[in-house]
Amino acid sequence: MTLPIDFPHISRPHLLHLLRAAPKAELHIHIEGSLEPELIFELARRNGVALPYASVDALRKAYAFTNLQSFLDVYYAGASVLITEDDFDAMAWAYFRRAAHDNVVHAEVFFDPQTHTARGIDVGVVIRGLDRAARRAEAELGLSVRLILCFLRHLSESDALATLEAALPYRDKFIGVGLDSSEMGHPPEKFERVFARAREAGLRLVAHAGEEGPPAYIRSALDVLHVERIDHGVRCLEDPALVARLASERVPLTVCPLSNVKLCVFDGLDQHNIPALLAADLCVTINSDDPAYFGGYVNDNFVQLFESLPQLTARDAYVLMRNSFDAAFVDDEDKALWTEELDSVFAANEP
């Protein structure tokens, strides 16, 4: 199908409908960040875990973050209620249902094993629970799912290496590794050996870089860790030579607009640099990061972004969704199938 490049048949109200209705991939979602306050309290009660918050409302009130660290403190407290395989299954299943509702057809889901192994939970409990929900989502929701194990960068590289070795018996249940948690003061170089080990094991590689940290962290994620995608990466615009490289090598950036506003990376969605990233011809995708904490799932990110930035067009929407398939760790047949579905949704006339 040949699509008109500027989609002149798509009105603004129809575009807002298409943002929700079109098929898309989500490539940057931390499963522990999908834990809604109601489920946190239910699991805390079931597992006898004491929370430093009196109620669901009190917990929600704590979601007034000033930077990444102020969020991470609350996020790790929330994850402390996860104990059994069933808990990990329940958390992930809730996200998959929500994602399918947003017409996500493929999700690459981060998980943080060290948040749980530090509390005495076996890594197998974490991975088996998440995998059970993933297989159910594939069978019952038609959602394609892959898991990506993230190392916490505020911990040591030897802790990350031990985590990878403990997880390798479950190698068939995750496709890659990533790097998350407190960025400043923890450059990618700190994790050179563990990423080399993951590469030897045939795992795909991604890393958070340039969320709060400088463009130099994006460069070292590429040059030292050899990652294939950058999570966030919004600070790349401070370094024009880096932008040129990201564009020519077509390195995907998994951008998370609501997260960036909640964590004060930008003052508002209307200040977000997505239009500039798109104008620089970067392979940008839209994602929810930690939807339970940042006020919305992937469609909320799309709709609120386009409502706040009227200069974004139907062509931008198409490109963002198309990029999500191009950047996914799946085979070319899957990408072609989803792209065809996307094309037919954008080609259809308004009802």
| Active centre residues (catalytic) | 211
Pick the closer one to ligand ADE by CB: 7 or 295: 295
What is the chain's length?
Answer: 351
3-state secondary structure 298-325: HHHHHHHHHHHCCCCCHHHHHHHHHHHH
Interatomic CA distance for residues 20 and 337, integer angstroms = 19
Question: Which bin fits 233, alpha (ψ -120 to 50), beta or left (φ > 0)?
Answer: left
Q: At closest approach, how far in Å is the CB of 231 from ligand ADE?
A: 8
Q: At closest approach, how far in Å is the CB of 230 from ligand ADE?
A: 12
Q: At closest approach, how far in Å is the CB of 68 from Zn ion?
A: 9
Q: Say whether 216 sits in a helix, a strand or coil.
A: helix
User: Which residue number places its CB atom closest to ligand ADE?
Assistant: 180
> Tokens representing 307?
């409502």
Interface residue with Zn ion among 26, 36, 289, 300 (CB under 5 A) is: 289
Q: Say whether 64 sits in a helix, a strand or coil.
A: coil
Count of CB atoms situated within 10 Å of the CB of 167:
23
Residues 6+ apart with CB under 8 A from 245: 222, 251
Amino acid (one-letter) located at 88: F
Amino acid (one-letter) located at 203: L
Q: At closest approach, how far in Å is the CB of 235 from Zn ion?
A: 14
Pick the closer one to ligand ADE by CB: 105 or 207: 207
Quick one: what does residue 33 bind among Zn ion, ligand ADE, none, with the CB cut-off 5 to 8 Å set by partner type?
ligand ADE
Q: Which stretch binds Zn ion (CB under 5 A): 115-123, 136-144, 286-294, 297-305?
A: 286-294
Picking from 251, 244, 247, 257, the residue whose alpha carbon sits closest to that of residue 225 is 251
Amino acid (one-letter) located at 94: A
- Residue 26 binds Zn ion, judged by CB under 5 A: no
Pick the closer one to ligand ADE by CB: 253 or 317: 253
Quick one: what does residue 220 bind among ligand ADE, Zn ion, none, with the CB cut-off 5 to 8 Å set by partner type?
none
Quick one: what does residue 68 bind among Zn ion, ligand ADE, none, with the CB cut-off 5 to 8 Å set by partner type?
ligand ADE
User: Which letter does DSSP use for residue 141 in this model?
Assistant: I
Q: Which stretch binds Zn ion (CB under 5 A): 10-18, 132-140, 268-276, 283-291?
A: 283-291
Q: At closest approach, how far in Å is the CB of 73 from ligand ADE?
A: 12
Residues forming the site for ligand ADE (CB under 6 A): 30, 33, 68, 75, 180-181, 208, 211, 259, 289-290
Q: Which residues bind Zn ion (CB under 5 A)?
A: 289
